[in-house]
Amino acid sequence: MIEGWWPILATSFGFLALAVGLISSYVFLSRSRVGARREKAEIIRESERRYGTLFNAVSDIVYVHDLDGKVLDVNRRGSELLGVAPNALEGKNMLDLLAGRPHKAVMAYLKALSTGRKELSGLFPFSAPGGRRVVLEFRSAVSAGSDGTLRVQGIARDVTQQKDFERALRHRERQLGRLLERAEQMQGNLRELSRELLRVQEDERRKIGRELHDEIGQLLAAITIDLQLMKKSPGAQAEADLSRHI
């Protein structure tokens, strides 16, 4: 009887050992997968932490929004410029954040990105809180997120001081151009005045020369006449006449 059950028991123990082995393998694989998932999650968290540190440490404005203008993310520099806390920006629309500012420019920007433009760059002037005029130089690019939804990532830099300097430089250049033009006019007037002075001096020399010529000619004529008279009637009267002319 026992001998008849022994093969059955051996087979059962074999299946039991196999089941235990399979269960152990499954538990081991499950633990390995959980460990791998935890390790992967830790790597992702570390990457997000590093990205967040870099995201908020840069001096430029970094932003992410959808094609309708809804803000998905913005770094600390952008929130400081807009005067809004970072967590209060997410979910807001650019048109609401820029209330009372250039809506037409924002609408044109969103329309260009929504109608096939993959990249867009340019200058965006607006008034920051407090009325300060700000000029941003931006570059945006359309990309697909992990869920396939299109979104816009970009970076912007405050170039207000640079543009103010360029505007002041152009103003100085215009002033310098006007000064150079006036200097050229003054040089032309000075050359004309010099020519007029030379002409007046030449006319005056000619006038003086003619007067001297006439006076000397008259004097010489009188002296000649007196000399002729002296020859005809020498004496005290002739000497007196000659002395009067001399």
| Maximum mean pLDDT: which of 78-87, 118-127, 217-226 | 118-127
In the chain, which ranges are E strands? Answer: 61-65, 71-74, 119-127, 133-144, 150-158
Dist. CA 216–CA 213, nearest whole Å: 5
Taking 50 as the threshold, does the pLDDT of residue 94 lie above it?
Answer: yes
CA atoms lying within 13 Å on the CB side of residue 54? 6
Residues sharing a CB contact under 8 Å with residue 84, sequence separation 6 or more, in sequence order: 92, 97
How confident is the prediction for the chain on average, in pLDDT? 76
Predicted confidence at residue 85, as pLDDT, reads 79
pTM above 0.85, yes or no: no
Predicted confidence at residue 140, as pLDDT, reads 92
Taking 50 as the threshold, does the pLDDT of residue 2 lie above it?
Answer: no
pLDDT digit string, tens, across residues 31-81 = 666 655 666 656 555 555 665 566 677 788 888 899 988 988 888 888 888
Dist. CA 150–CA 1, nearest whole Å: 76
User: In one letter, which amino acid is 160?
Assistant: T
Confidence of residue 139 (pLDDT cuts 50, 70, 90): very high
Predicted confidence at residue 17, as pLDDT, reads 60
Tokens of 134: 């700000």
Predicted confidence at residue 148, as pLDDT, reads 79
Sheet order of strands, 150-158 included: 71-74, 61-65, 150-158, 133-144, 119-127
pLDDT digit string, tens, across residues 152-182 = 999 999 898 888 888 899 999 999 999 999 9
Residue predicted with more confidence, 121 or 101: 121
